[in-house]
Amino acid sequence: MESPNPLLDLSQALTSVSTTYAFTRDRVRSLKDSGSEEIFAQGTRLFLASQQVNAKLVGLTRALATGPYAQVPESRRVLAELTATIAAASSGSAFIASAVAGDPLNTIGLPPSPEIAQDMARVRQETGLGDVQGALEEAADRLHLVATSCAHAAFDVARRQHHHGDVPVGPQHDAIGTHTARCLRHAKQVAVKSSATDRFLVSPRYLAGTGDRLADVLGPLIHLFGWEHTHDPASGHVSVDSPGHDLLLDFTPSSPDGTWWTIQHPDPLWKITATRLTPLEPLAAITQTLPQLLGDTRHADRIPLTDRPVAEIADLSGWTTSRTSCTSPDGHCTLYYERGASWQVEHSVYDGFGTHWSVRAKGDLPDQLAAQFLSFLATPDPVERAFGDIPYLARSQARLTPLDSKSPLGPHVVHALGALVEPSGRGRRR
């Protein structure tokens, strides 16, 4: 018997697909952290399972594109997103396949004696496991993106159908959650009044998106400190090298995995990477202090290093702190401490599509870098953004003040006054 609400069925199917992708992502990530034998034993089955769910996603997208949903206003954007998601899903499966193929012994038939098994494990550990784990991590990242995108599409299908009076939408159809529904409604109201090029003051900074002041990150190293650099106009790639060739900064906007920034120091070994939507201001706070860390104190009076520890900065900014992490008051951004001096920052708005960014710092890092980054991320001072550069789902969570505000007080004063009427609180220790 044909369903009276075919679009509702498709929405529920997309929700199921989203859950399956999230489950597969978790399996991939757990597999990455297991032993080499487990990786090569389970990898093929995981690849076949991902291919099956990929095929289901293609079918659902085709059904939406050829059915009544395609006639709903603004549905084309979601269909285009789903089409791109299919490519990401295929890429995730390809990385799983690459991990399986990365077994240096996967085509060699050897007798299963204990001695041979030990030798196989050693060879895999030394020659293949690193590349295999890297491929699985890439696969997990792709599948996380796919799961989020499918959840967003499922919510949109149900929401738009409800808007047109076809299907009642209950909590089970809201794949992202009631918070996202509110985000979408508010963002749409703001978007009606603003063009993509209108300039706004935005706070908190972690919601503002990357921004367009790339020169603040790279310019001081090149023009104030004379670091060597190369630039490829075709790809946008920029590489900046310290005078002693002991610190390299790399900007790669064409990176397929979304990692745009890499800062690397060979001895002692440490590395910082940041993804596409990471706000430029805290990144600039790190890059501008790099010469001081190498002993070049010129312009130190203009580029001060903070002397506060991370926990104190977080507490003064109203973030919740614990022994191993600190989290923004709205819960969207968290800085985690890992073993040693390593740390990482994760951000998303209710796990919504297009709001994720992350920073990962690993190795024997200078203590000041985490504090420097957080100082310029958690500060209540707003940053300037074009409206089109602010992530869509973040617009209702951030405080936005038009730069062309007609108030005689000026936009910065208006923005600061807006903060006074919003609920706030001191940081809390768990």
Q: For the segment 258-269, what is each residue's pLDDT rounded down to a tens digit?
A: 899 999 998 889
Q: How far apart are CA 127 and CA 393, in angstroms?
A: 43
How many CB atoms within 10 Å of residue 165? 7
Residue 382 CB burial class (10 angstroms; 0-12, 13-18, ≥19): buried
CA dihedral 385, 391, 396, 399 (to 10 degrees): -20
pLDDT at 93: 84
| Closest CA relative to residue 404, chosen from 421, 387, 390 | 387
DSSP classification of residue 224:
I
> Which residues on adjacent β-strands are paired with residue 274?
261, 359
Q: For the segment 293-310, what is each residue's pLDDT rounded down to a tens digit?
A: 999 998 888 888 898 999
Q: Which two tokens stand for residue 298?
A: 């010129």
pLDDT at 242: 95
| Closest CA relative to residue 354, chosen from 183, 149, 106, 163 | 149
pLDDT at 345: 97
Backbone torsions φ then ψ of 383, nearest 5 degrees = -120, 160
DSSP classification of residue 166:
S
Q: What share of the chain is helix, strand, coil (3-state, %, to 5)?
A: 50, 15, 35
Per-residue pLDDT of the chain (430 residues; tens, 9 = 90+): 444 466 777 888 888 888 888 888 888 877 766 665 667 677 778 888 888 888 888 888 888 888 877 777 667 777 877 887 888 788 888 888 877 765 444 433 444 445 555 554 554 455 455 667 777 878 887 787 787 778 777 777 776 655 444 433 333 333 334 444 444 444 445 544 667 788 999 999 999 999 998 999 999 999 999 999 999 988 899 999 999 899 999 999 988 778 999 999 988 899 999 999 999 999 999 999 999 999 999 888 888 889 899 999 999 999 999 988 999 999 999 999 875 679 999 999 877 778 899 999 999 888 889 999 999 999 999 999 998 899 888 888 899 988 887 667 788 877 877 766 555 443 444 4
Q: How many residues does the chain have?
A: 430
| Closest CA relative to residue 15, chosen from 144, 138, 150 | 150
CA dihedral 169, 172, 178, 182 (to 10 degrees): -30
Question: Whole-model pTM?
Answer: 0.58
